[in-house]
A and B are shown apart, each in its own frame.
Chain A
Amino acid sequence: MHLLLAILVGILYACGLYLMMRRSMLKLVIGLGLLGHAANLLIFTAGRVVPGAVPLIPEGMTTPSGPIADPVPQALILTAIVIGFGVQAFAILLVRRLAERTRTDDVRELTTTEQLETQTGTGKGAS
């Protein structure tokens, strides 16, 4: 199964990277999401995948009853999923806010802060 998963990891990375090189901000965020999935799957696969070996200790025992899947990559990925979500949520809100202010979704147009000022041109001092 590892060969298949390795190829899937590659496909997810390729799609994520390609999307992140787009000029549309939304595509960038979606690419970021794909890249996150790809990284999680990479760690998961590198830690070996085994079916039917949940790392749990059954009731009444003090050690697992048989061989278990490596819990360390699982712990790492759990952390990564949560942090990835935090980043993604922040990125999504940032994109939304930028789109509202600049009326564009093209990252090329976001070159300088000065331009942003003149484009929005509130002419109002610090609030």
Chain B
Amino acid sequence: MTPLLLYIVFGAFAAAVIAPLLVRWFGDRASAVLAIVPASVVGIVFFMLGPPPDGLLQATIPWIPSLGIDLSFWVDGLSIIFVLLIAGIGTVVLVYAGAYLHDHRDLGRFLTWIMVFMGAMLGLVTSGNLLTLFLFWELTSISSYFLIGFLHDDAASRKSALQALLITGAGGLSLLAGFILLGSAVGSYELSAILTSGDAFRSSEWYLPGLLLILIGAFTKSAQVPFHFWLPNAMAAPTPVSAYLHSATMVKAGVFMLARLHPVLNGTSEFHVLVGTAGAATMILGAVSAFGQRDLKRLLAYTTVSALGTLVLLLGIGTETAVQAAMVFLLAHALYKGALFLTVGIVDHETGTRDVESLGGLWRMMPMTALAATLAALSMAGLPPMLGFIGKELLYEAKLAAPWAPWTITALGVTANILTVAVAALMTLRTFGGASSSVRTAHDPSWQMWGGVALLASLGFAAGMAADLVATHIVGPATTAIRGERVETSLGLWHGVNPVLLLSLATLASGAALYALHRPIRRMTAGWRPWKAERAYDAALAGMLASARKQTLWLQSGQISTYLALTLLATLLLVGLPILAFWPQLSMVVAMDLALLPTVIAGMMAIAAFLAVRAKTSLGSIIALGVVGYGIAVLFLLYSAPDLAMTQFAVETLSVVLLMLVVAKLPEFRQMGSRSTRLWQAGLAGAGGALMTLLVLFVTAEPARMTLATFYGEASYALANGRNIVNVILVDFRGLDTLGEITVLGIAALGAVALLRLVVDKEDGR
């Protein structure tokens, strides 16, 4: 089974690598070739994996054994339902995208990112380890960034991409922190251990912080209030992306996370209140906002927000019926919303507009699209015999039986559904039905485009007709996985006349009425958005950028003196302050054992250093520097380092000669800084010097360690046949260091030559 699992996850990644090549070979048809990958995944899940024994498939491949991270897979009913959605809708979207982005110069890049996303998503839902799960989670955010920003020469597109990345990326960090709390509390990052340790985690002190962090991660990804605003903005992406990432799969990753960790997180009042409230608020807010939109894509995006809220609310309710309803609704929503997004893409592609006010009567020009879209809209409106109907029935049943505020939840749910019905009607009747609009030239696109819509919509129909099969093979195992206990599921279209059916009828009637009145109501609510969370985002982003700019201007002044002063100040604080703590030990400083000659030399050097600073002419300053250099050479000579002395004499002579050569080209010294600047810089430099003096004193107050000296003394002749120990160290024991040194000199020489040559060339050019 392991190779099949590996193929499911990594097949898409491999395809991503060769996608640009395929585009070169096959042109637009490359997308259809790539579609073989997800199609084969669907095939594997259907025919080869079958219903797994015990509802579970596991495989572990050691990855980073030293850190205890394995590449482990955990495929249960919940994974299967997501794999089917990701691979199934992925197949449709890929075929569609080839025609939609017909002859686009960046089709290869697009397909690569779509495949990367698909692989990341498949990895996410089959991961058996929280850390690998997190990696895949982040990869979906990153690929989403590139796909939203696909039309990168459009500023709005870039802004939306960044917004989605920042929001979901911040959520990802929070999720990671939550995972670490969860993993530490349980003692393992493996799902196999975590899913059975629910009680241990719920009773640990890390439960509440862990829950909050994980919820922030899930809520940002699944666009829950108050993080919902990035999703409608993400509609800047090409429509296949919107259909795939931002309605069917990626935005459901948060829902997946809640479902995956349901056995661990569920069961406390904190969970019910937090998740339920966020879900309910998102559900109603999304539905209300959707109704006033003119752009078909944003309209659908807000209904997606609403649907995501519904899913989160259902998981927050957390009862068996609610979880089952969530799974049915998840499936139904992905099918109809994917189809409707693809429809909007077709309309946009054929007519050049997505404005619902200027569209109408398209069914005459594109009958196939109209038919398929209407079928999908029926599922969205929750009409029998579509899967959407079953989903809505279950949804009402779960809400009515909610253990917590059932009437409020039901009322909100009915309101949201009424709006959804009206939006579904708006979406189809206004666009395809009615009088024809200004658009005259549209026609059905190629089958690759309308075929996908038709396939998804008919699947919604077929699933409704064969509800029992869906229940046994897909919804049942998924519910079992989420509940952590065996759940028998049966679904059907007809349950007799009961409160739920009455609610459904009332919803449909009110939705129809709302549609009938939609023109005046929409006019009233146009542009009205009840919650402007995006403003907080904008303000936070602007504030961050402004403070970064200020900080950069302050730190990165472009003045070398400022850089030096800041570095010095930091060193003084970081090294100087701790040194002061050791102050008392300084009493053991070496006694004054002054020898005459070294003292005279040192005194000369100190005077020369001051002269170098105070010199009025550049020549004087250079000579003073030379005196310091020769002085140091004499010190080397006096203290048993003849090699150093020789080198120092030679180098100092060369340096002075070089400096003399430059002086002729430079203006004479003049005072440029103000008196106060000179004063504080002198103070700072003096403090820096004092710090170095202290450092030397501290080091020399320690007893000397001569281990290395003894070793080299003994080994120098025995191992390297050399009598000059310093020499032997340089060319033998530390020969590689010397090689590095030679390289540095070589590079400096090349640079110097380049500088000199540059002068000559320019002068020739004049």
Contact = CB atoms under 8 A, between A and B. Distances in A.
Interface in A85-110: 85-90, 92-97, 99-100, 104-108
Contacts, number: 303
Contacts of B766: 122
A54 B661 CA distance: 36
Interface string A105-126: 1111001000000000010100
Interface string B737-762: 11001001101110110011011011
A70 B621 contact: no
Interface in B236-263: none
B730 A79 contact: yes
Contacts of B599: 4
Nearest to A75: B729
Contacts of A13: 685, 688-689, 692
Nearest to B702: A46
A122 B764 CA distance: 12
A15 B613 contact: yes
A56 B725 contact: yes
Given A5-B602, A92-B658, A55 B609 contact: no
Interface string B584-596: 0000011011110
A127 B763 CA distance: 11
Contacts of A86: 744-745, 747-749
Interface in B585-640: 589-590, 592-595, 598-599, 602, 605-606, 609-610, 612-613, 618, 621-622, 625, 628-629, 632, 635-636, 638-640
B661 A50 contact: no
A115 to B, nearest CB: 11
A94 B655 contact: no
Contact of A1 (B593, B636, B661, B688): B593
A104 B668 CA distance: 10
B268 interface: no
Contacts of A45: 696, 700
Contacts of A6: 693, 696-697, 700
B43 interface: no
Contact of A2 (B629, B643, B700): B700
A57 B644 contact: no
Nearest to B632: A37
A34 B647 contact: no
Contact of A3 (B592, B706, B726): B592
A2 B709 CA distance: 19
Contact of A15 (B612, B697, B709): B612
Contacts of B699: 46
Interface stretch (B170-178, B423-431, B446-454, B710-718): B710-718
Interface residues of B, number: 107
Given A1-B595, A26-B662, A122-B762, A17 B590 contact: no
Contacts of A26: 618, 621, 659, 662-663, 666, 669
Contact of B729 (A71, A93, A97): A71
A23 B674 CA distance: 11
Contact of B726 (A28, A71, A122): A71
A103 to B, nearest CB: 8
Interface string B667-690: 101101100000001101110111
Interface in A51-94: 51-59, 61-64, 68-72, 74-75, 77-79, 81-90, 92-94
Interface string A34-55: 1001101110111011111111
Residue in B609, B669, B730 with the greatest tally of chain A CB atoms within 10 Å: B609
Nearest to A124: B765
Contacts of A96: 661-662, 665-666
B669 A74 contact: no
B560 A20 contact: yes
B695 interface: yes
Contact of B598 (A4, A56, A74): A4
A1 B689 contact: no
Contact of A79 (B673, B716, B737, B755): B737
B268 to A, nearest CB: 60
Given A37-B632, A51-B638, A96-B661, A75 B734 contact: yes
A38 to B, nearest CB: 7
A55 B699 CA distance: 22
Given A75-B729, A99-B665, A57 B590 contact: no
A30 B758 CA distance: 24
Contacts of B747: 86
Nearest to A104: B667
A15 B609 contact: yes
A9 B602 CA distance: 10
A82 B640 CA distance: 19
B612 A14 contact: no
B644 A77 contact: yes
Interface stretch (B9-17, B514-522, B561-569): B561-569
B632 A17 contact: no
Nearest to A14: B689
A87 B592 CA distance: 36
Contact of B744 (A1, A69, A83, A122): A83
B570 to A, nearest CB: 14
Contact of B640 (A1, A34, A52, A92): A52
Interface of A: 1-30, 33-34, 37-38, 40-42, 44-46, 48-59, 61-64, 68-72, 74-75, 77-79, 81-90, 92-97, 99-100, 104-108, 111, 122, 124, 127
12 contacts: A2-B590, A9-B689, A15-B610, A26-B669, A37-B632, A57-B723, A59-B723, A79-B738, A86-B745, A87-B748, A99-B665, A105-B666
Q: Which 3 A-B pairs have the closest CB atoms?
A: A14-B689, A10-B693, A86-B748
Interface of B: 558-561, 564-565, 568, 589-590, 592-595, 598-599, 602, 605-606, 609-610, 612-613, 618, 621-622, 625, 628-629, 632, 635-636, 638-644, 647-648, 651, 654-655, 658-659, 661-663, 665-667, 669-670, 672-673, 681-682, 684-686, 688-693, 695-697, 699-700, 704, 706, 708-709, 712-714, 716-718, 722-726, 729-730, 734, 737-738, 741, 744-745, 747-749, 751-752, 755-756, 758-759, 761-762, 765-766
Given A62-B718, A74-B644, 17 more contacts: A2-B700, A5-B635, A13-B689, A15-B610, A15-B612, A26-B666, A42-B695, A44-B635, A44-B641, A49-B635, A61-B717, A68-B713, A70-B709, A72-B712, A90-B755, A99-B662, A107-B561
